[in-house]
Amino acid sequence: MANAYVPGLQGVVAARTRLSMVDGKNGVLVIAGFPLEEIAERATFEELVYLLWNDRLPNGRELADFRAQLAGLREIPPITRDVLEAAAERKAPAMDALRMAAGTLSLRTDGETLPEGQYRDALVAVARFPTIVAAYARLLARDGLIAPHHGLGHAANYLYMLSGTRPSDARARALDTYFNTVIDHGLNASTFAARVIVSTESDVISAVGGAIGALKGPLHGGAPGPALEMVFEIGEASNAEPFMRAKLARGERLMGFGHRIYRVRDPRADVLARAAERLFAADGDTTLYDLAREVERVALRLLDEHKPGRNLRTNVEFFTALVLQGLGIPVDQFTPTFAVSRVAGWTAHCLEQLAANRILRPESEYTGETARRWVPLEQR
C-alpha cells in the first residue's frame, strides 16, 4: 500500500539530528543540547559554530585557533568581487547577489592551504558570507569596500565592514546574540534543501546555494522588513490601536506575530527583546524600542480579541527587525544578514548528513492519466 500523501511534508520526520530541537507546543528551542536562553546571550557566534560542528564548546585554545582560522579566510577572491560588482550595476536584489557570489566559493584562492573537502567548504562559507553581504551593501550604496578586520570577532567585523567604524562592545554583543538566536531551527525549508543536495554527495557550496534559493522565498525569509515597516508607519503609540484594528478589519496580517511552528510565544523573541532593550539603552535613545513594545502590547491584545483561540504571539521577526534597525543595517540586508548566521546551521546539517548519509529520495503520488494513446501529428 502506498504511503499517505502529506501536503508540505507537515509532521513527516525526514532526518535525525543533534543540532537543534524545536518544541512549538511549549515554546522551547534547544541548540546542540543548550536551551536557547542559556547560551544565546552568553556565547560568541564562533563558539556556537564550533559547538554545532563538534558537539561541544571549545576551550580557550581551541576557540582562539578557530577564530583565527575563520578570520584568515574572510577575504573574498577577485572573482567574487567581480560577480558582486556586476550584480550591483544591475541593482540585483541582495539575495540574488549572495546566491551568485556564494557559487564562486568553490574556487580556491591563491595561497590557500586548506585541503579540498566538505569541511573546507563549510569554513569558507561561514568566513566569507559576512564579507560578501557587507561588500554588496556598500556597492549598492556606491561606497568603497572595506577589507575585513582580522582582529575583530565575527559579528563585530561584519558591522565594521558595513560601516567602516569599529563597533562598540554593546553593538557587537547585540549582533552576536542575534546570530546565535537564528543559527539553526530544525528542518526548515532552507536546511532541508541543503540536506537534500548534500545527500547526493554533492559539495557543501552547492548545498548552501540551494539553501539560499529556498531562503529567498518570502514564505521563509521575508518577514523582518514588513514588521519594522508597520512600526514606522504607526509612528506614535496613540496610533497603534486604530492602525492595527483597521488592518485586522481588512483581513490583513500583523507582521511579526504568529508562527507556523510555535503555538505559544517564540522563545527567540524573548532573547531578542532583551538584546534590543540593552542595545537601545546603550545607544542612549529608546524611542523606537519603546514604540515597538507598545505596538507589541496592543497587537497581542487585538489578536486575542479578533482571533480568539488562535494564540498568535510575537515571533522572532518582530524583534529581529528592531535589533537590526538599531544596528544600522538596511532593511534590504535583513535576510542576507540572517543568512550570515544560518549558513553555520546549513553547513552543520550538511556535515551531519554526510557522516551517516543516505540519499533523501521521497516518493510522489501520481495523479495523472494512465491509458492515453498516441495520436499522429496530422490527426491532432
Q: How far is CA 348 from CA 24, 42, 99, 308, in A?
A: 22, 21, 19, 39
Inform me whether the pLDDT recorded for 3 exceeds 60: yes
Is the pLDDT assigned to residue 1 strictly greater than 50?
Answer: no
If you write DSSP's letter for every residue of 15-57 in order, what string do you get? ---SSEEEETTTTEEEETTEEHHHHTTTS-HHHHHHHHHHSS-
* pLDDT range class, residue 223, cuts 50, 70, 90: low
Has residue 209 been placed in a domain?
A: no
Residue 75: per-residue pLDDT: 95
Identify which has the larger pLDDT, 225 or 34.
Answer: 34
Residue 113 lies in a domain: yes
Judge whether 317 counts as a catalytic residue.
yes
Phi, psi of 281 (to 5 degrees): -65, -40
Q: Which of 46, 294, 296, 317 is catalytic?
A: 317
Task: Give me the DSSP letters along 321-336.
Answer: HHHHHHTT--GGGHHH
Say yes or no to pLDDT of 260 above 80: no
Coil vs helix vs strand at 257: strand
**What percent of the chain has pLDDT above 90?**
80
Q: Read off the pLDDT band of 112 (50, 70, 90).
A: confident
Average pLDDT (355-367) is 93
On whether residue 379 sits in a domain, the answer given is: no
Task: Answer yes or no: is 74 within a domain.
Answer: yes
Inter-CA distances, 281 with 129, 149, 184, 274, Å: 29, 27, 28, 11
Does 180 have pLDDT greater than 60? yes
Query: CA torsion sign, 102 to 71 to 351 to 38?
Result: negative
Query: How many Å apart are CA 24 and CA 270, to the nearest integer?
Result: 14
Structure confidence at residue 347 (pLDDT): 98
pLDDT of residue 9: 87
Residue with cell 507537515: 10
CA distance 297 to 313: 10
pLDDT of 222 above 70: no
CA angle 93, 99, 102 (to 5 degrees): 135
Q: Are 231 and 287 in contact (CB under 8 A)?
A: no
101 within some domain: yes
Is a pLDDT exceeding 50 seen at residue 351?
A: yes
Q: Is 378 designated active site?
A: no
pLDDT digits (tens, 9 = 90+) for 305-331: 998 888 888 888 899 999 999 999 998
Its sign, for the CA torsion 228, 232, 233, 237, is: positive
In a domain? residue 260: no
Look at residue 2 and tell me whether its pLDDT is greater than 70: no
- The mean per-residue pLDDT over the stretch 106-112 comes to 78
The pLDDT of residue 284:
93
Catalytic option among 41, 259, 296, 349? 259
CATH number for the domain spanning 97: value is 1.10.580.10
Find the mean pLDDT for residues 28-48: 97
pLDDT band for position 339 (cuts 50, 70, 90): very high
pLDDT tens-digit series, residues 132-142: 999 999 999 99
Instruction: Assess if residue 215 is contained within a domain.
Output: no
Distance, in Å, from the CA atom of 50 to the CA atom of 208, rounded to the nearest integer, reads: 18
| The model's pTM | 0.93
Whether the Cβ atoms of residue 88 and residue 97 lie closer than 8 Å to each other: yes
The band of 12, judged by pLDDT with boundaries at 50, 70 and 90, is confident
Q: What is the pLDDT of residue 240?
A: 96
Question: Whole domain around residue 167: which residue ranges?
Answer: 20-189
Whole-angstrom CA distances from 219 to 299, 304, 333 are 21, 24, 17
Contact 337, 350 (CB under 8 A): no
Average pLDDT over the chain, rounded to whole?
Answer: 93
Q: Return the higher-pLDDT residue of 256 and 47.
A: 47
Instruction: Note whether residue 258 is domain-resident.
Output: no
Residue 37 has a pLDDT of 95
Domains in the chain, number = 1
